Amino acid sequence: MAKTMAGALDNLTVLDVTHVLAGPFCTYQLALLGADVIKIESPSDPDCARGRGPDADANAQGLGLNYQVQGGNKRALALDLKTPEGRKVMLDLVRRADVLVENYRTGALERLGLGYEALNKLNPQLIHCSITGYGDTGPDAEAGAYDNVIQAISGTIGQCGGVKPGVSFIDYSTGYSAAFAVTSALLQRARTGRGCHISVSMLEVAMQMMSPEAAAALHPSQVQRAKEPGIAAYDTADGRLMLGAFRPHQYRTLARLLDDLALSAPGLADVEDWPDVWALPEQARRDLVQAFASRTTAEWMDLLRQADLPAAPVQDLTQAVQNPQLADRGYFQKMPAVTLPLTAFRMTQGGPALTKAPPRHGEDSHDILSALGMEPERIQELSDQGVIK
């Protein structure tokens, strides 16, 4: 696919030394906005996400869906950083790069001579973003982690009743946090002329995703409250619906709607403020259970939206991805073999665009080294030695 317009991050070079989910998702956001993202992987041990997904043939080819959903618009360089020759190539790339993103354990790149201090001396304008489980300082700094591990230690699973959410939301929110930090650092560099090191902690991102709850857990006043009946799920005549009557005035609106339908929920009409919401008796919930069971989900959606009350049917993911709203916004884009997600925002100028399919392992190695000025014979030597693929 040909690129049709300049992206907001055109002319920026990003070295993507990441794997699995959080790091690749960060660099995918940058790539969708026009940055030249070079994904650097070991020739013998590529990103493990390449082998994961529902299509066994794609997995075998290193194009697993877990990789593809965050691999578009990138170029792939297979380079062995454990060899002197590979490190020399990496340093040549760093001299010309704007950003480096990595999500290996704290200290891993330092042990290869590729840590921030070394790279900063080589290129003071480089923005070096490190994504780790726990950050680069503290007693757990060098401990490895995955999304599920962070969900456990952060209290996320405990907050969800002891059940792990079935999505890797900490990985992806970490990727967004890192992308935001990188773009902030780019703005700072435009002002100061200098790059910086960024440390992104998955644990801290998990806490950020629960900011009200985490702050309440630290507060000296501990209050146990029942779940508010206006923001709960209810069975309908043919399915299940999530109600979003959150604010006090929305309770009163819901009460009027139910009165018009000759359905009883008398306690809701008296809600004036937050203490009234928290003081609602269990009977209010029972009234809503009975009321919502009287009509279908579609009927309730029409009635609630007419009353300007947020609500949505509880759907499985197969249903959710077919939402016409997503289609209208162009969130999913069809590529030759798969349909891939874009970003969760749009811009009137310089916005995200998916213009290149996710590359195979080492697909662009020769082109990238040629652009560094390396002679074809030397590239072939490195290939024969297994330094590149």
Strands in 197-201's sheet, in edge-to-edge order, are 74-78, 36-41, 13-17, 99-102, 127-132, 197-201
Give the active site residue among 16, 98, 147, 171. Answer: 171
Integer Cα distance of 268 and 33 in angstroms: 47
* Residue 264 confidence (pLDDT): 84
Residues 77, 362 contacting (CB under 8 angstroms): yes
* Residue 4 confidence (pLDDT): 56
Integer Cα distance of 42 and 389 in angstroms: 9
* Residue 2 confidence (pLDDT): 42
Integer Cα distance of 179 and 173 in angstroms: 10
Integer Cα distance of 241 and 292 in angstroms: 8
Per-residue b or e along 3-13, where b marks 16 or more CB atoms closer than 10 Å to that residue's CB: eeeebbbeebe
Integer Cα distance of 343 and 267 in angstroms: 43
Q: Which residues pair with 313 in a beta bridge?
A: 241
Query: For the packed helices 202-209 and 169-192, what is the interaxial angle rounded to 10 degrees?
Result: 110
> Is 316 assigned a catalytic role?
no
Backbone angles phi, psi at 82, to 5 degrees: -85, -5
Residue 344 corresponds to which tokens in the numbers above?
């969760």
Residue 387 corresponds to which tokens in the numbers above?
């330094």
Integer Cα distance of 46 and 74 in angstroms: 15
- Max CA separation in the chain (angstroms): 84
Which letter does DSSP use for residue 383 in this model? H
Other beta carbons within 10 angstroms of residue 159's beta carbon come to 15
Residues 6+ apart with CB under 8 A from 374: none
Integer Cα distance of 387 and 81 in angstroms: 8
Alpha helices in 160-235 (DSSP H): 169-192, 202-209, 211-218
Q: What sign results for the dihedral spanned by CA atoms 36, 74, 388, 120? A: positive
CA dihedral 61, 66, 70, 74 (to 10 degrees): -20
Query: Which residue ranges form the domains of the chain, and what is each CATH number?
Result: 13-212+359-385 (3.40.50.10540), 229-317 (3.30.1540.10)
Integer Cα distance of 331 and 48 in angstroms: 26
Integer Cα distance of 193 and 179 in angstroms: 20
Other beta carbons within 10 angstroms of residue 289's beta carbon come to 13
* Residue 1 confidence (pLDDT): 40
Q: Which residues pair with 177 in a beta bridge?
A: none
Which letter does DSSP use for residue 258 in this model? H
Residues 23, 55 contacting (CB under 8 angstroms): no
| DSSP structure string for 141-158 | TT----HHHHHHHTTHHH
Integer Cα distance of 343 and 175 in angstroms: 12
Residues 146, 105 contacting (CB under 8 angstroms): no
pLDDT averaged per 10 residues, the chain (length 389): 73 98 98 98 98 98 98 98 98 98 96 97 98 97 97 97 96 98 98 98 98 96 92 98 98 97 93 97 96 98 98 98 97 94 96 96 98 97 97
